[in-house]
Amino acid sequence: MGQGGQQWRWGGVLLGVGLGGFFDGVVLHQVLQWHHVISETVVPDTLQNLKLNTLADGLFHVGTYVLTLLGLALLWAGLRGTHVAWSTAAFVGTLLFGFGLFNVVEGTVNHQLLGIHHVRPGPYRLAYDLGFLVWGAAMMVGGWRLMRRGAASV
């Protein structure tokens, strides 16, 4: 397999990581308002603390935006020029794997190790955190299977 095949796969994974971060930030932070990036360490119970949490969320979104752009650049670099064989299943697999990777890393580091926020504070906090990790791991396994199936079909 040539360099282009690896570039587009890494590009798809990074794009999936970025999309996972955007989902987390938009759905869990903004729409459901369950948490902010630093809501356990800087409780958003005053206007000043809410401003700090909103800034942290914005910086988080900048990071996911950069990962998304990097993923698109690698995807483009891997698919332009010489023809690279790829399948829809393999591409969707890279996105799912990356999205799940975001959940597993973010859930392990931020929720469990650093404790800077949890998926949903309050009753059943641990259940929400573990569910987030299981959901991420399931996406990684499903994505890996799709990548392997897609690679075998080209």
**93 touches 153 (CB < 8 A):** no
**pLDDT for res 96:** 98
| Two tokens, residue 57 | 């969320």
User: pLDDT, tens digit, for every residue of 88-99?
Assistant: 999 999 999 999
CA 63 – CA 75 distance, rounded (Å): 18
**pLDDT for res 77:** 87
Mean pLDDT computed over 101-128? 96
The band of 86, judged by pLDDT with boundaries at 50, 70 and 90, is: confident
82 vs 21 pLDDT, higher one: 21
Amino acid (1-letter code) at residue 152: A
**pLDDT for res 8:** 86
Considering Cα of 115, then 64, then 129, then 145, what sign does the dihedral take?
A: negative
